[in-house]
């Protein structure tokens, strides 16, 4: 079992307190997964392209490999920092993202690449991560988050969610469910040269959607096709540099509820997460119908 949450502030210029909102929302559904927590946050303060890596016990060697790989790829290092289980760099890079991403993933465990996306994930609760990474202080326009109860893989930072679309920048996903045609779809993507770093079906959905966006389709078109192409039971949220969207399978076995007003859209597995945004206030919420999808963008 796991829980998902997402929020989209309609005025991208307000620089809203994104981190605080997502910490509160994930805390509301933390009972759905206490093993690990993660956030995909979209900010507007990056100097260049941001890359976040998971570093293991041999952290100095990992950092050295990352810096060597950056130099080999022609990426100029602008800043670097160690943060919790992560090593974070911002670089100036003007080349093609996909081969760059694959090269960097061969150097270390890459969590995300983005001109505005930063994925922060680790073992522990939303409040645990806030204590280490200062999530509440992060301002931004939109983001998604996930709480996880491990059932099929280890409890470690790289196994936590969200997942980014490997080989693409600024695309992330949180997912509740199971894709039953995972291997069939993965083999098709691998035959076209795409690489995967895990056997997690959330990573598959992210790459599937990102490829369609790269081909010129809109996020709405990609989500519409996903309802037909993905087999299984699922509710997922996808985020891009410009917005967010959701899709639900036609059986609607996995819960999802949403709230929208003039200022924001909030979506989560349970209404308690939405109530955390407006404590003490009654909310008019809706549950997306089976087989539906929707997007919001700036």
264 and 208 part of one domain: yes
250 and 275 part of one domain: yes
| Cα angle: 158, vertex 48, 239; to 5 degrees | 50
Scan for tokens 């309802």, then name that residue.
227
182 and 196 part of one domain: yes
Residue range of the domain that includes 286: 2-44+118-297
Whether pLDDT at 91 is above 90: yes
108 and 155 part of one domain: no
Kind and range of the H or E element at 3? strand 2-9
pLDDT at residue 72, as a whole number: 97
Whether pLDDT at 15 is above 80: no
The percentage of the chain sitting over the pLDDT mark of 70, rounded to a whole number, equals 97
DSSP string, 15-67: ---HHHHHHHHHHHTGGG--SEEEEEEE-S--SSEEEEEE--S-HHHHHHHHH
pLDDT at residue 232, as a whole number: 95
Given the residues 1, 2, 82, 255, the one annotated as active site: 2
pLDDT at residue 151, as a whole number: 60
Look at 154 and 117; give whichever has higher pLDDT.
Answer: 117
37 and 80 part of one domain: no
Instruction: Check if 29 is active-site.
Output: no
Neighbouring-strand partners of residue 113: 51
- Last residue within a domain, chosen from 115, 135, 168: 115
Domains of the chain: total: 2
What would the two tokens of residue 197 be?
A: 């770093």
Q: Provide the CB-side half-sphere exposure for 233 (13 A, CA).
A: 9
- Last residue within a domain, chosen from 86, 115, 144: 115
Question: What mean pLDDT, rounded, does the chain reach?
Answer: 93
Kind and range of the H or E element at 209? helix 201-214
- CA nearest to 6, candidates 237, 283, 163, 193: 237
Model confidence over 64-83: pLDDT tens digits? 999 999 999 999 999 999 99
173 and 258 part of one domain: yes
52 and 151 part of one domain: no
23 and 109 part of one domain: no
Whether pLDDT at 56 is above 80: no
84 and 161 part of one domain: no
Model confidence over 201-233: pLDDT tens digits? 999 999 999 999 999 999 999 999 999 999 999
131 and 200 part of one domain: yes
185 and 99 part of one domain: no
- Last residue within a domain, chosen from 59, 81, 115: 115
pLDDT at residue 121, as a whole number: 95
63 and 125 part of one domain: no
pTM for this entry: 0.94
Dihedral angle computed from the Cα positions of residues 153, 159, 162 and 165, in that order, rounded to the nearest 10 degrees: -100
Model confidence over 149-181: pLDDT tens digits? 656 566 678 778 899 998 899 999 999 999 999
| CATH number of domain containing 92 | 3.30.70.260
pLDDT at residue 152, as a whole number: 59
């Amino acid at each position: 079992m796991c829980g998902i949450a997402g929020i989209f502030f309609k005025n991208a210029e307000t620089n809203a307190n994104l981190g605080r909102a997502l910490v509160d929302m994930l805390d509301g559904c933390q009972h759905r997964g206490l093993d690990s927590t993660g956030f995909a946050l979209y900010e507007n303060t990056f100097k260049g392209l941001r890359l976040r890596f998971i570093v293991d016990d041999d952290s100095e060697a990992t950092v050295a490999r990352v810096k060597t790989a950056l130099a080999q790829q022609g990426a100029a290092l602008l800043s670097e920092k160690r943060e919790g289980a992560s090593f974070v760099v911002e670089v100036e890079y003007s080349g093609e993202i996909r081969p760059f991403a694959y090269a960097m993933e061969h150097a270390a465990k890459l969590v995300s690449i983005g001109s505005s996306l930063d994925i922060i994930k680790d073992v522990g609760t939303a409040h645990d991560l806030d204590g280490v990474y200062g999530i509440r202080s992060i301002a931004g326009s939109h983001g998604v988050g996930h709480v996880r109860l491990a059932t099929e893989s280890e409890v470690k930072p790289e196994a936590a969610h969200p997942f980014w679309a490997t080989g693409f920048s600024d695309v992330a996903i949180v997912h509740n469910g199971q894709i039953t045609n995972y291997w069939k779809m993965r083999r098709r993507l691998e035959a076209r040269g795409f690489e995967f770093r895990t056997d997690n079906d959330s990573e598959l959905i992210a790459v599937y959607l990102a490829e369609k966006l790269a081909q010129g389709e809109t996020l709405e078109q990609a989500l519409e096709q996903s309802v037909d192409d993905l087999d299984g039971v699922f509710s997922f949220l996808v985020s891009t540099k410009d917005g967010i969207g959701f899709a639900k399978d036609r059986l609607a076995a996995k819960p999802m509820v949403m709230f929208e007003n003039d200022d924001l859209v909030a979506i989560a597995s349970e209404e308690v997460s939405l109530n955390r945004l407006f404590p003490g206030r009654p909310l008019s919420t809706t549950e997306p119908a089976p087989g539906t999808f929707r997007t919001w963008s700036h």
